[in-house]
Amino acid sequence: MSATQDDHDATNAYQALADTVGHDDPRWAFGSGVEDVQAEITSPVPDGVDAADLAQYCLMLGDDALICSHRLSEWVANAPELEEEVALANTALDLLGQARVLLARAGEVEGRQRDEDALAYLRPEGEFRNVALAELPDNLEFGRAIARLLLFSTWRLALLHRLLGSRDPVVAAMAGKGVKELTYHRDHAARWTLRLGDGTPESHRRMQAALDAVWPYLEELFRTSDVERRLAAAGVAVDPADTREEVDAVLDEVLARATLTRPAVPSIGTIGGRGGRQGLHTEYLGHVLAEMQSVARQHPGATW
pLDDT digits (tens, 9 = 90+) for 138-147: 988 999 999 9
pLDDT digits (tens, 9 = 90+) for 17-39: 334 333 344 333 334 444 555 65
- Domains identified in the chain and CATH numbers: 41-298 (1.20.1260.10)
- Pairwise pLDDT comparison (132 vs 266), residue with the higher score: 132
pLDDT digits (tens, 9 = 90+) for 179-234: 999 999 999 999 999 999 999 999 999 999 999 999 999 999 999 999 999 999 99
pLDDT in the model for residue 245: 97
Q: pLDDT class for 110, splitting at 50, 70, 90?
A: very high
pLDDT in the model for residue 38: 61
Average pLDDT of span 32-61: 85
Q: pTM for this one? A: 0.87
Instruction: Report whether pLDDT(79) > 70.
Output: yes
Average pLDDT of span 43-61: 97
pLDDT in the model for residue 279: 86
Cα–Cα distance list, 171 to 1, 49, 104, 163, 237 (Å) = 32, 13, 11, 7, 9
pLDDT digits (tens, 9 = 90+) for 249-291: 999 999 999 999 999 988 886 655 678 999 889 999 999 999 9
Mean pLDDT of the chain: 88
Q: Hey, how many other C-beta atoms are within 10 angstroms of the C-beta on 187?
A: 14
Map residue 79 onto helix, strand or coil: coil
